[in-house]
Structure 1
Amino acid sequence: MKHMKKIAFIFFTLIAISACSPEIGSEEWCKDMDEKAKGDWTANEATDYAKHCVF
């Protein structure tokens, strides 16, 4: 049973770490958005990009 708990803990830790994304408006976020296809942007992403990365 301890073995299963350890595996589950490691699994959820990896998911939590990989799910992190840069803060909206940061330089890294702007670079990520530049690399993302414009057609895949949501309306909120486009607004945030214009607000934080263009002006």
Structure 2
Amino acid sequence: MKKIFILLVSAIALITLTACGPKRGSEAWCKKMDEIPKGEWSLNDAGDYTKYCVFKQKPEQE
């Protein structure tokens, strides 16, 4: 029972911490990506940076 409780609390903490970053495509996200070396970006990061930060498209509402 104790292991299940610890696992559940860990999963909730992980989900909460993951959701705390700036929303992809926001101005804060663009500034954060400017600080990360380009070599550490994924292909999705590079594509989204170009789309939202260079071409200034608005992110889709989720």
Q: Looking at CA atoms only, which structure, 1 or 2, has the larger radius of gyration? A: 1
Percent of aligned pairs with the same amino acid? 43
User: Distance between the aligned counterparts of 1:33 and 1:16, measured in 2?
Assistant: 21
Pair 1:42 & 2:34 matched: no
Normalised by the length of structure 2, the TM-score is 0.63
Structure 2 regions of 5+ residues with no counterpart?
56-62
Structure 1 regions of 5+ residues with no counterpart?
none
Aligned length: 54
Deviations 1:1-55 (A, max 9, x none): 4x55543432222111112233221112111111111111122211211111122
**Distance change (3 Å), C-alpha of 1:43 and 1:5:** closer
**Distance change (3 Å), C-alpha of 1:43 and 1:12:** closer
Map 1:1-55 onto structure 2 (within 5 A).
1=1, 4-20=3-19, 21-55=21-55
Normalised by the length of structure 1, the TM-score is 0.68
* Structure 2 residue matching 1:14: 3-state secondary structure: helix
